[in-house]
Amino acid sequence: MTQNIYDDAGFFQNYSQLPRSQRGLDGAPEWPALRALLPSLAGASVLDLGCGFGWFCRFVAGEGAAETVGVDVSERMLARAMAETSAGSVRYEQADLESYQPPVERFDLVYSSLAFHYLVDLPAVFGRVAQALKPGGRLVFSVEHPIMTAPRHQTWGEDQSGLPVWPVGAYLQEGRRVTDWLAEGVVKQHRTLASYLNQLIGLGLSLRHVEEWGPTPEQVAAEPDWARERERPAFLLIAAEKP
């Protein structure tokens, strides 16, 4: 079973202070790249796995989606999502993504932002996602990049010229990684990039785009602290289509 760290009081408190929690999609630097992978949303049926505070569900409703289902395991996050959502086309469900069973051939878009790297049995979840898509439907998701999740100790180093480097180790050893991000003992699952891709290919999905996200030069100019985030990709964004 996946750890539900988002209902940990300290983690939730810290997570709520992040720009992406306070400013929504525009506070997430990878959002423009993720948005570019979305299909047309007018009249669409959308499933958001790990919907958090519901920012994406509300965005999708605003773009004219006919039906949006947001699923999250965190009661605290869903409480705020519901309080802040007025669109009647959006519905929230509390469920563990590991066991959530979506309806079959129902969605034009299954979306997930930075949730899948928490899941232990991702192949099973991908299998249900593939079933839940209509033919021609699209899966668009982001996870922490495998380069980021691989190391036993996830900290920056310096090369012989004093430039920042991200020391990669244990890349081919998939499984549990424990980090202290916003709280101590946050458990994530490391998978190779090839694992993500081959699981989707094996389900008959067609890969449409793979993005190894780092801030654009413009973003670095606006936020100079982000410069080192171009040394190694922070996020992996994938779009795949059901034939």
Q: Which residues bind its own copies (CB under 8 A)?
A: 147, 150-153, 157, 159-161, 163-173, 192-194, 197-198, 201, 206-212, 214, 230-233
87 three-class SS? coil
| Minimum CB distance to its own copies, residue 190 (Å) | 12
User: Which amino acid is present at 16?
Assistant: S
Those residues whose C-beta lies under 8 Å from the C-beta of residue 76, and which sit 6 or more positions away, are 6, 7, 12
At closest approach, how far in Å is the CB of 150 from its own copies?
8
Q: Which is nearer to its own copies, 24 or 215 (CB)?
A: 215
Closest CA to 70 of 104, 113, 27, 40: 113
CA distance 115 to 66: 24
Q: How far is the CB of 51 from its own copies (least distance, A)?
A: 26
Q: Which two tokens stand for residue 50?
A: 């790990």
| CB neighbour class for 167 (10 Å; exposed up to 12, middle 13-18, buried from 19) | middle
Tokens of 81: 């999502």
Nearer of residues 7 and 159 to its own copies, judged by Cβ: 159
Q: Which amino acid is at 150?
A: A
Is 50 or 214 the residue whose CB approaches its own copies more closely?
214
| Type of residue numbered 223 | E
State which H helix or E strand residue 60 sits in: helix 55-62
Q: Which is nearer to its own copies, 107 or 196 (CB)?
A: 196
Nearest CB to its own copies, comparing residues 66 and 165: 165
Minimum Å gap between C-beta 216 and its own copies is: 10
Q: Which is nearer to its own copies, 19 or 217 (CB)?
A: 217
Q: From CA 225, how far away is CA 227, in angstroms rounded?
A: 6
Q: How far is the CB of 46 from its own copies (least distance, A)?
A: 23
Q: Are 165 and 119 in contact (CB under 8 A)?
A: no
Min dist. Cβ of residue 88 to its own copies (A): 37
